[in-house]
Chain A
């Protein structure tokens, strides 16, 4: 019983995992739009200010 009979199946399991990962990402639609995500990455993160908050609160927060 050579180690080759163990190593080769292990290699295939690994390859299978990567393949599964690829198929998963395809099914999730990650390859549907290859243009916009590249652009989206350069935008700043959402600022989390509640846009409905009264301006006075914002002002106060700034003064502090």
Chain B
């Protein structure tokens, strides 16, 4: 009896303790606690692992774990710990949650940390992790997860928290509407392509019968049957998928410009009308076979190009916003999470250490170092304390700050800069596509030739032959090869660039860029500018998805080295900087011994910094040798942080060898800029420090006004306006969202080396396009001459046209698939700094 009572008491006493999960030790939710007093689990994952270990006789693990507990803490899964309450707000749900039939709802999130197929598996097991989730689908190509859930059992924030818990912090998907529009347009193009293909195939079958019958004397009734059938199918092809060309041609005529649609429409119209008349008359050539194949091939080219570019645009769109979506605001004594868009001037905003400042404001509590690099280009963090002003989009390091918001949204400094960017984009002249410029001349020459042919044949042989030969000329002169080869070449090039981490938003940018290059070669003039972009050597993980997380992984010692490195750039201030560095280090919880790792010792150790520096110096010498007598430098740009990246010197040297003049435009102070410039071998005049965003824009405009083509490379908000104004704007890895919006090309890999790839690829692409241009124009000339002299009939046209298309396609694919010869740096000075940290983040 006593025993029994004791046991009961023990059970009651044990109850609170047993609510820790038997596997992971985390608290078990009340409804999952085993009422019988056995082991309880916080989740089924733990239950499964526990059961598996026990079944395999491996449950000794728990003993070992308990013995070690307290000595080594097991790292929890990398979760952000955010409660995502902001996803339940109207501001998010209105545009991101779609109701589905059956009372379900669908929400899309952009997931951080999606790397490999295993992520698809894990994310799609979400229904097991979260009650109320019916289905989860992850698109690997853009890391967007579509989750279908039951709104009565789960909220968007629950879904977000579960995703976070399994290691994929979710973010709102930006540009949803544009993507939806693009997706529909993509499907519509695919439909047109399918219809055009089906029509072309069937008309060709009929054409075989007709051509064969012409040799063997087919009965007239059968001929007419085939003609009429061809007419009907070709009409479908012309009026449905082919409408696109007529529409494009009309638009071009209205604006009195030329594009390829004009000669294509001309061929379709001439061939279609002549073919219809001949069908009705019951004699003569019908051209439906050649023309419907033409429609199909041209649509294939355009489809492939547009699809490639859509991928690139989506990838850029999906780059995670660097501005937080929500922030904590102090209301009375409590702090509540609100969406940044709901902030109002006067709100007291809490900014955590390492957090982004969501609005312009005045510090009312706390003291920290604020990193303004993205906003102003200044590499040195600024100390702020009570009464100082901080700006939206800057990052605070150190103690938490309390900021009274003074300007939010469009009124903040970032907002005003965005306005400049938008104005700059609006002012940017559209780049005239190479083929469109040619198309204008093409149409002109073609109309003259056609009129001449018609007149000559009419006076010599009468109306019938005149019509026949003119139509033949118009059809064979149709720039099919050109219209097919250029988009395909661009598509292949854009695809190749994407594989190298260069996302090209607009292929026209590439054409322009390549054009710059051509000019540079011709007159020895240099066109472009490159950057001396700098990053923290060794402290930023290469493929980390967010600067914050990589910084968090940085050990205090490394952070200190990095900070002291920065300081070293301005030696007069080094004493103060050491103190500051120590303060930062202590804010990060570093041990006292770390404090002694000052800049000098970092240098002596021959650590990453000095290695990189030696490399940079080596590069500088090369440049002095290589540069010789180059005139007229142009533009350039750079977001200059602290120390040049390890590959900066060699990459810039490569750019110079490729014929670019380079220049640094930096918002950083003149001192550090000059120092980096000398490391990278810039002439003193080519390195401008202390340039504000407007100044950068002005510089780009000045150079453009001189007729130079400018390539601007930048990463910060402060570069965005100039990026938008340059002929080609390239935003580099780790940059702010704004600069991505303004740029034509986005380098998703860090460093400047991708630029060299881009240059090489652009040249190759342009060369290929030119080659194909020559081939197809030559073909048009020869066959056009034959047509004018009356040697081309429908059969010859039907055979020659696909052959010419095949030729240019072979050239396009062949030329672009050969490995690129690019200006390799002569010496690989790149120090493999902190290679371990730079390895990509493993899959959660």
Contacts and interface: CB of A to CB of B under 8 A. Distances in A.
A51 B183 CA distance: 37
Contacts, number: 65
Contact of A5 (B141, B225, B233): B225
Contact of B121 (A16, A22, A43, A59): A43
A2 B222 contact: yes
A47 B558 CA distance: 46
Interface stretch (B189-197, B258-266, B806-814, B834-842): B189-197
A35 B144 CA distance: 12
Interface string B621-665: 000000000000000000000000000000000000000000000
Nearest to A19: B198
B33 to A, nearest CB: 12
Instruction: Give chain B's interface residue range (CB within 8 Å of chain A).
Output: 20 to 34
A35 B191 contact: no
B187 interface: yes
Interface in A17-64: 18-19, 22-23, 26-27, 29, 31-36, 39-40, 42-43, 51-52, 55, 58-59
B117 A42 contact: yes
A11 B623 CA distance: 69
B201 to A, nearest CB: 8
Given A35-B139, A35-B140, A35-B141, A4 B222 contact: yes
A64 B669 CA distance: 77
Given A22-B194, A26-B194, A55-B51, A39 B120 contact: yes
Interface in B130-151: 137-141
B521 interface: no
A18 B201 CA distance: 13
Contacts of B120: 36, 39-40, 43
Contacts of A22: 194, 198
A15 B199 CA distance: 9
Contacts of A19: 194-195, 198
Nearest to A21: B194
Contact of B187 (A16, A27, A39, A40): A27
Nearest to B55: A62
Contacts of A23: 191, 194-195
Given A5-B225, A8-B229, A36-B120, A15 B190 contact: no
Contacts of B183: 32
Contacts of A34: 141
Contacts of B233: 12
Interface of B: 44, 47, 51, 117, 120-121, 124, 128, 137-141, 183, 186-187, 190-191, 194-195, 198, 201-202, 205, 222, 225, 229, 233
Given A36-B140, A58-B51, 19 more contacts: A2-B222, A5-B225, A15-B201, A15-B202, A19-B194, A22-B198, A23-B195, A26-B187, A26-B194, A33-B139, A34-B141, A35-B141, A36-B137, A36-B139, A36-B141, A39-B117, A39-B140, A43-B124, A55-B47
25 contacts: A2-B222, A8-B225, A12-B229, A12-B233, A15-B198, A15-B201, A16-B198, A18-B198, A22-B198, A23-B191, A26-B191, A27-B187, A27-B191, A29-B187, A31-B187, A32-B183, A32-B186, A33-B141, A36-B139, A36-B141, A39-B120, A40-B120, A40-B124, A52-B44, A55-B51
